[in-house]
Amino acid sequence: MADMRPTKIPMPETDPIRRAGNFEEVALGYSEADAAAEAARCLDCKNAPCMRGCPVGVHIPDFIREIRNGNPEAAYEIIHSTNLLPAVCGRVCPQENQCEGKCVRGIKGEPVGIGALERFAADRHRESRQSRTVPSQKNGHKVAVVGSGPSGLTCAGSLARMGYDVTVYEAFHKAGGVLVYGIPEFRLPKQIVEEEIEGLKALGVSIVTDAIIGRTLSVDDLFSDGAEAVFIGSGAGLPQFMGIPGENLLGVFSANEYLTRINLMKAYLPEYDTPIKKAKHIAVVGGGNVAMDAARCAKRMGADEVTIIYRRGMEELPARREEVHHAMAEGIRFRLLCNPTKILDDGNGQVSAVECIEMELGEPDASGRRRPVPKQGSEFTLDADAVIIAIGTIPNPLIKSTTSGLETTPKGCIVADEAGRTSRPGVFAGGDAVTGAATVILAMEAGKKAAAAIDEYLRGN
Amino acid sequence: MYRILKKRYLNEAKNVIEMVIDAPLVARKCLAGQFIIFRIDEFGERVPLTIADYDRAAGTVTIIFQPVGATTKMLAEMSAGESILDFAGPLGKPSEVEGFSRVAVVGGGVGCAIAYPVAKAFGQAGAEVDMIAGFRSRDIVILEEEMRAAVTHLYITTDDGSYGIRGFTTNQLKALIDSGIRYDRVVAIGPAPMMKFVCAVTEPYGIKTIVSLNPIMIDGTGMCGGCRVAVDGKTQFACVDGPEFDGHLVDWDELIKRNSYYREEEAAHVCRLTGGVRHG
């Protein structure tokens, strides 16, 4: 009989005042007792609606049963059989819209803490340092993967398991894509990403860093160097700006630049050379996870005040609930229903303030969300000595412009079907490069499906 | 790891250094006008440098730099046989060199190291090339023989008159234009103020002038947007849309301001250096 308490066992967190001054992980994870108690809340539904909410089809009731029975390693094995990055997903998936959003317990109370339990199993596995990974028998076929973010790593790992000889090409000096340059240490410790990548290498995946596909090598070069299929998982790396006056002033950054300086280039650690400006009042424009990450980093870098500016309301914030809750607890201010119209100069080319206009929500737009409309005459200014623009990213044009026969949308996204097949035979694509900026787990789903399609394609050849 | 195969000083003042790096993947495709990003070690910054030369058969790429910031000072301390951690490229668009009959290439200081391969590429593509290489004084002149061998006419200028023609590159360029030479392209590579003034010289004559920009950037692939520059009122990313742009359309004052943004941090970093590379 399941434990019928209506609420989740809360995950312990570090103190918000103390943590806003450091980069240590915020959510601390379940203890054995917490995990057993939370696992006991699962009804073990026969039809498992939660699984329909999981893009990679984790066998959720099965792994939770193993945790309930005190076998976290067995739980890990079940998760890992369909999800190659469990310690990552347990931390960054928007579970409320996925598995937990479908959980029956959520109808009258809180859903089972599936994400927290996944993280528990993955962390116990890491701590036990059990590694039974052995490279699969090689089948003699080569596949090249472009990009080492969530979609590329998942595609590579899935193919390596099937016996393919997989090489991943990464433009940066470190593998991991958005997991290392974008998501901050306090949300996803880089040690964990590194261990997940080491696990993929143990499966036989090779990773070549400093290789910019479209420049260092073209997709055609990958084929002529022996790859029989290519997967493009190059993400959506090109930052969007608003196109308002003052965006090139000193102190205006894309969230990509700000986060890369901190997360990949470790500007927060004194032993690293990366410079970053200290600012007193940082305004962050946008309401997604990237905006929350940038705002929380800004606080940790010592800003007195950090304000998120978002043109819709609290209900419409696209960020994960947990991130919004953490940001608020850490003292981030939210100026909702307003939009920047101009960034003001202090007279020396440096930002001094952001001019904004208040917004109200009108009729639903194409996305189904109510369209924000400016309220005439409601302009006001917000003092700021730095502005971070986190309004989204689009795919990088480097591959599109150097690969013939690859169809793309007007927004620069690669056109691919559900299985990842592009307009060019042998070239597959998935993740943000196809969808535009989305989530880690959707990119992983695309990588996994493309691996299956590549296998089918190469078997047919 | 990328091994430093050769190192030499290019002038008497020993403030410009040439290094030949073992980087076969970069050497395979690189062209004049493109750049690389290097990182010395795990703690280092990613720093862009324009490619000065390459040898596809040997798999090597030549870089030329002046030790000015913390990272280039550390690199200057390294010797042939040692290795740096990262060397990624080629990045940016190559120079447009085909289809010109007569061009002037203007290099300023260490910028001559970048102007030289571009001038050479113009010559190889069939253009008559006048090169104006400007330096502050005689002791910092670099690559004189190489430039002379690659171009039709070489004019060296020094600010103090200690070598070649006394004065700035802009004076010499104006004199050549006024002597009746019809250039169908001018290329200027050097410090931003010099490029700005070259553009001011050519604008009244309506000669299209290309400049090579080297703004602050992190990734070099279009990801950070740190290298944005206003060209004809539109924001462009120097790393992917450039590094070469029509100089008459560049917002020079904004570019010069953006490039000095981290000057204080840079000075603090250099102060922390105790001389030499951190990790052997």
Which chain B residues have a beta carbon less than 8 Å from that of A398?
221-222, 240
Integer CA distances (angstroms), B17 to A356, B10, B76, B163, in order: 49, 6, 7, 21
pLDDT tens for each residue of B29-80: 999 999 999 999 999 999 999 999 999 999 999 999 999 888 999 999 999 9
pLDDT tens for each residue of A52-108: 999 999 999 999 999 999 999 999 999 999 999 999 999 999 999 999 999 999 999
Q: Do B91 and A212 touch (CB under 8 A)?
A: yes
Which chain B residues have a beta carbon less than 8 Å from that of A181?
223
- Are residues A49 and A15 in contact, defined by beta-carbon separation less than 8 angstroms? no
Using DSSP's 3-state secondary structure scheme, residue A60 falls into helix
Residue B262 has pLDDT above 90, yes or no: no
Q: Indicate the residue of A239, A277, A349 with minimum beta-carbon distance to B225.
A: A239
List domains and CATH numbers for chain B. Answer: 2-91 (2.40.30.10), 102-212 (3.40.50.80)
Residue A335 is predicted with a pLDDT of 97
Q: Tell me what the pLDDT averaged over chain B comes to.
A: 91
pTM for the predicted model, two decimal places: 0.92
Residue A461 has pLDDT above 70, yes or no: no
Q: Do B25 and A217 touch (CB under 8 A)?
A: yes
Interface residues on B facing A, Cβ-Cβ cutoff 8 A: 25-26, 28-29, 39, 43-46, 70-71, 85-91, 218-226, 228-230, 235, 240, 254, 257-258, 261-262, 265-266, 269
What number is the ipTM of this complex? 0.89
- Over pLDDT 70: what percentage of chain B? 95
Residue where the block lists tokens 């690199």: B75
Which residues neighbour A86 within 8 Å (Cβ) at sequence distance 6 or greater? A76, A79, A80, A118, A119, A121, A122, A125
Chain A: closest CA distance from residue B226 (Å): 7
- Which tokens hold the place of B170? 């802009």
Q: What burial letters (b/e) apply to A47-76, b meaning 16+ CB within 10 Å?
A: ebebbebbbbebbbbbbbbbbbeebbeebb
Q: Do A171 and B219 touch (CB under 8 A)?
A: yes
Q: How far apart are CA A147 and CA B271, in angstroms?
A: 38
Q: Output the CA torsion sign for A198, A203, A205, A206.
A: positive
Which residues neighbour A184 within 8 Å (Cβ) at sequence distance 6 or greater? A23, A259, A262, A263, A293, A296, A297
pLDDT tens for each residue of A233-277: 999 989 999 999 999 999 999 999 999 999 999 888 888 888 888
Residue A201 has pLDDT above 90, yes or no: yes
Residue B270 has pLDDT above 70, yes or no: no
Q: Indicate the residue of B91, B225, B235 with minimum beta-carbon distance to A215.
A: B91
List domains and CATH numbers for chain A. Answer: 16-128 (1.10.1060.10), 142-237+394-458 (3.50.50.60), 241-389 (3.50.50.60)
Query: Closest-CA residue in chain B for A212?
Result: B89
Bridge partners for A361 per DSSP: A372
Q: Do B43 and A273 touch (CB under 8 A)?
A: yes
pLDDT tens for each residue of B187-227: 999 999 999 999 999 999 999 999 999 888 888 888 888 88
Task: Choose the mutation target among B218, B274, B277 for the interface with A, i.e. most A CBs under 10 Å.
Answer: B218
Q: Do A216 and B29 touch (CB under 8 A)?
A: yes
Residue B263 is predicted with a pLDDT of 76
Residue B215 is predicted with a pLDDT of 81
Size of interface A-B (CB pairs under 8 A): 108
Residue B276 has pLDDT above 50, yes or no: no
Q: Indicate the residue of A172, A238, A248 with minimum beta-carbon distance to B222.
A: A238
Q: Do A248 and B87 touch (CB under 8 A)?
A: no
